[in-house]
Structure 1
Amino acid sequence: MSLPKRTLTSLVAGLLLVPSMAVLAAGKCERLVVTGSPDAPPYMWRDPQDPKHLMGANADLLKEAATQMGVKIELLYAGKRSQALEEVRTGRMDLLADTPLNSNELESLDFIHPAITQNEIMVWTRTGHAQPFNSLADLHGHPGVISEKTRITPGFDLAVKEHLTLEKQPNLTQAFQKLMLGQAEFVLAGRYAGMALTQTLGMSKDLVSQPLPLDRPGLYLALSFNSACNEPWLRGQLAKKMTELAASGRSADAISRNLEVWKAQLQQPASAAVTQ
């Protein structure tokens, strides 16, 4: 039995419309509003020349990926880390650009795998420190310091709380000063932030990092469940670009480049560079 002419016409029109609707769905997100930590150089920090925006290695890598995807992004300062998280969790902003993987946030954020960058948490000691500090067990019983802004993985955090007594300082500068004064035997700090600060503060001959990192926290892109842009095409494209970045070595180049930028800012008295 043949279909009525009007029904057949409607069906054909509907089938012709499906590809165009799919294209619209795939390209509906043209702009992402992104935020992140204002105090995590060289990965991300507040631009001293343009305080409304953020800069850093993660910012550069995300801009590169977004350009290839045909998506515009704006990296905005949203306050301290907890405020940035809240802005994205509620959907007022779309994406966090440098967040550690946190199981507590899985109900509100889609974490994009793999990580956009990785940090290495090193043991920093005074030059000539006799005892090797190559493992968590080596640090047991020795006084140490960590900056409140240093982010570590949840598993390593639990191990540290169980086995070590660490004094927390507001930032890495003060943590290193404790080490220089002999008030601690070691500092747990990121490889690159430690390198920049010891060089800038004139401590590079006095403080060194031990050879082996104790922790490698990944920094992820995390898309809000409440973002209008949270749909399969965007998540898939971001995951594809992060996989390509991980295989290319461009992350290391971006980190090195931004490390030099941050060091230059620290050496400018009038700048608003943030110490970690």
Structure 2
Amino acid sequence: MRELFSAFLLLCIPLFARADCTALTASGNAEYPPYLWHAADNTDALDGAITQLMTTLGERIGIPVQVQFVGPWGRTQEEVANGNIDLIAGAFYTKARSERMDYLRPAFQETRSVLWVRNNNVFDFRDFSDLVGKRGVTVINNSFGQAFDEYAREHLSILQVGGFEQALRMISNGRVDYLLYEEQPGLAYIERAQITNLQMLEVPVSREPLYLTMSLKSACNTPELKQRISAELQKMNQEGLMAHYLAQARMRWQQR
């Protein structure tokens, strides 16, 4: 009987711990302006529209959300999957991620992933197959939607590099035929760098919702808290807060 009682207590300990959630940690892609960017090399802070959104979310649910820089995008995903960070503040849906974290709905933003090409190397893009035989570049550990990711693995040649600025140099210098990235972050980098020999193709590769996700290993992962977060996300979407925060973040990014 004593052994059974001890086993019962061990099973209950995580449940008791999960009930005591007084703060949330979040992180995301630090090369993702105007959504997120590393505030300064000597800090662990992330600035951007998503940071503003998470601050507001924390105030509304009564649990502060601290958005932290924890390293490159790949490491960030691992830190969340392992439960060292509670939330990814901005992720596309992939099956692999859904096995390690919960997607909190609704999405807080829809994004377009697009192609940039050199002005002297413009080609027609209407379908994934138009990229077959061409050389592309993007940033490592990025997803552009389940459909495109699966097609690219089977049929396309896309080099993955460590950061967007490296990818930008490669397309600008003619080492690849196209650069694949999300529209808003891509424009933010290109405009600030004052690069004029590139243009964005009109047809997007994908349109994907951007979600807040919670690690399955987070001590704060409870049905009650996820329901509260989802309810507030719905309200903030209706109020148009993300568009307001994006406008402010674009100005801060350009003035860095």
* TM-score normalised over the length of structure 2: 0.80
The superposition leaves residues 87-130 of structure 1 with CA deviations (integer Å, 9 ceiling, x where unpaired) of 33343332221233232233432210122333311111223655
Secondary structure of 2:126's match? coil
Distance verdict in 2 for CA 1:91–1:142, change over 3 Å = closer
2:48 is the counterpart of 1:61:
no
Tell me, yes or no, if the aligned pair for 2:39 and 2:46 is still in contact at 8 Å.
yes
Deviates more, 1:167-176 or 1:108-117: 167-176
State how far apart, in whole Å, the 2-side matches of 1:62 and 1:39 are: 18
| Distance in structure 2 (CA, Å) of the matches to 1:247 and 1:214 | 27
In the alignment, which of 229, 237, 254 is matched to residue 228 of structure 2? 237
Q: Output the CA distance in 1 between the equivalents of 2:188 and 2:228.
A: 33
SS in structure 1 of the partner of residue 186 of structure 2: helix
Q: Does 1:37 align with 2:29?
A: yes
What is the 5 A alignment of 1:157-176?
157-176=149-168
Residues 135 and 107 of structure 1: CA distance in aligned 2, closer, same or farther (over 3 Å): closer
State the secondary structure of the residue aligned to 1:59: helix
Task: Please tell me the residue identity of whatever aligns with 2:191.
Answer: Q
Match of 2:253 among 262, 267, 272: 262
The answer on whether the counterparts of 2:35 and 2:185 sit within 8 Å (CA) in structure 1 is no
CA distance in 1, matches of 2:102, 2:194: 42
Which residue matches 2:12?
Answer: none
Identity of aligned residues (%): 25
For residues 135 and 84 of structure 2, what CA distance do their matches in structure 1 show? Answer: 42
> Alignment RMSD, CA only?
2.7
| Alignment CA distance shift 1:74-1:213 (3 Å) | same
Aligned length: 240
The 3 A distance-change label for structure 1 pair 240 and 141 is same
Q: Which runs of 5+ in 1 are unaligned?
A: 1-26, 266-276
Question: For the structure 1 residues 81 and 142, does the alpha-carbon distance in structure 2 shift closer, same or farther, using more than 3 Å as the test?
Answer: closer
Partner SS for 2:204: coil
1:249 aligns with 2:251: no
Which digits, 9 at most, give the CA deviation of each residue in 1:159-209, with x for residues without a partner? 123232223333222323232233333211211122122222221x32111
TM-score normalised by the chain length of structure 1: 0.75
How many angstroms apart in 2 are the aligned matches of 1:105 and 1:186?
Answer: 27
The change in CA–CA distance for 1:29 and 1:157 in structure 2 (over 3 A counts) is same
C-alpha separation in 1, matches of 2:130 and 2:206: 15
Q: Distance in 2 between matches of 1:214 and 1:34?
A: 28
Give the distance between the partners of 1:55 and 1:166, measured in 2 at CA. 29
The secondary structure found in structure 2 opposite 1:120 is strand
Deviation digits for residues 225-270 of structure 1 (CA, Å, limit 9, x no counterpart):
33332222211111112223334433233233323322322xxxxx
Alignment of 1:1-276 (within 5 A): 29-48=21-40, 51-127=43-119, 129-148=121-140, 150-203=142-195, 205-265=196-256
How far off its partner does 1:149 sit? 5.7
Change (3 A) 1:77 1:185: closer
